[in-house]
């Protein structure tokens, strides 16, 4: 399971460097050195690195969250939240956006797949319409010609949903018309199998 506390620490540390937090919170920093806030320090003996601090006097070390917690007497979590708000770190905000993009992407791929099935089946039905058309009035109707008569108009309408329909209409169709999609898919496969055998 996701640990939101661990995420907030990771994000803050990635974005807020130790020196920028120290300066922002009014510590006097010279040549990367500042007075230690963990012991009585007359000469600056705390060295600030980008991702941590280290005191040559009392050997205390830690990250930007620990520094901020000490400065304001906060818990680590409170300090992380303070850093987020002071430095405009939008905690976990980008992650849902990325997830949403992936969802939109896969929805589009699903739509493309369904549209391909429907339009393939329409092409198949159009071929049935011409190839199996009766040559004379007395000839019995071929089942594939009949299939074309009963299905083509309906499936062309389904294709229109993907060509000129709204996102909601496409989504609605895909959720509620699984059977017609599966049927078209089966017929495409049947026909492809038939041609392969025939060849
Ligand atoms: Zn110290």
Among the three residues 87, 113, 137, which one is the final residue of a domain in this structure? Answer: 87
β strands within the chain, DSSP E: 33-34, 46-48, 53-55, 61-62
Give pLDDT tens digits for 21-74: 999 999 999 999 999 999 999 899 999 999 999 999 999 999 999 999 999 999
**Ion ligand 1 — residues with CB under 5 Å?**
36, 38-39, 55, 57-58, 60
* H or E element, residue 103: helix 94-131
Residue of 131, 121, 127 whose CA lies nearest to 156 = 121
On whether the CB atoms of residues 151 and 135 are closer than 8 A, the answer is no
Least confidently predicted of 9-18, 73-82, 90-99, 157-166: 90-99
Domain count, the chain: 2
Tally of CB atoms within 10 A around 66:
17
How far, in Å, is the centroid of ligand 1 from the Cα of 138? Answer: 104
CATH code of the domain covering residue 48? 3.90.580.10
Tally of CB atoms within 10 A around 196:
8
- The answer on 117 and 190 residing in a single domain is yes
Q: Residue 194 corresponds to which tokens in the numbers above?
A: 């038939």
How far, in Å, is the centroid of ligand 1 from the Cα of 30? Answer: 16
What's the pTM value of the predicted model, to 2 decimals? 0.47
How far, in Å, is the centroid of ligand 1 from the Cα of 58? Answer: 4
How far, in Å, is the centroid of ligand 1 from the Cα of 39? Answer: 5
Least confidently predicted of 11-15, 103-107, 139-143: 103-107
- The answer on 191 and 104 residing in a single domain is yes
How far, in Å, is the centroid of ligand 1 from the Cα of 118? Answer: 72
How far, in Å, is the centroid of ligand 1 from the Cα of 44? Answer: 9
How far, in Å, is the centroid of ligand 1 from the Cα of 73? Answer: 16
Give pLDDT tens digits for 117-175: 999 999 999 999 999 999 888 888 999 999 999 999 999 999 998 888 888 888 889 88
Query: How buried is residue 70: exposed, middle or buried, by Cβ count under 10 Å (0-12/13-18/19+)?
Result: middle
Among the three residues 59, 87, 115, which one is the final residue of a domain in this structure? Answer: 87
Cα separation, 112 vs 20, whole angstroms: 49
């Amino acid at each position: 399971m996701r640990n939101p506390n661990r995420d907030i620490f990771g994000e803050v540390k990635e974005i807020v460097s130790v020196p920028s937090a120290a300066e922002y919170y009014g510590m006097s920093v010279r040549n990367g050195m500042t007075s230690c806030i963990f012991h009585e320090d007359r000469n600056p003996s705390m060295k600030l690195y980008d991702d941590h601090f280290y005191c040559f006097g009392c050997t205390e070390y830690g990250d930007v969250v620990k520094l901020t917690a000490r400065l304001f007497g906060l818990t680590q979590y409170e300090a992380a939240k303070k850093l987020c708000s002071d430095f405009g770190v939008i905690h976990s905000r980008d992650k849902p956006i990325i997830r949403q993009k992936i969802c939109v992407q896969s929805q589009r791929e699903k739509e493309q797949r369904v549209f391909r099935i429907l339009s393939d089946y329409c092409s198949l039905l159009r071929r049935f319409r011409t190839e199996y058309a009766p040559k004379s009035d007395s000839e019995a109707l071929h089942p594939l010609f009949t299939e074309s008569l009963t299905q083509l108009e309906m499936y062309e309408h389904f294709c229109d949903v993907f060509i000129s329909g709204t996102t909601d209409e496409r989504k609605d169709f895909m959720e509620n018309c699984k059977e017609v999609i599966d049927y078209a898919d089966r017929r495409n496969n049947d026909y492809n199998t038939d041609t392969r055998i025939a060849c």
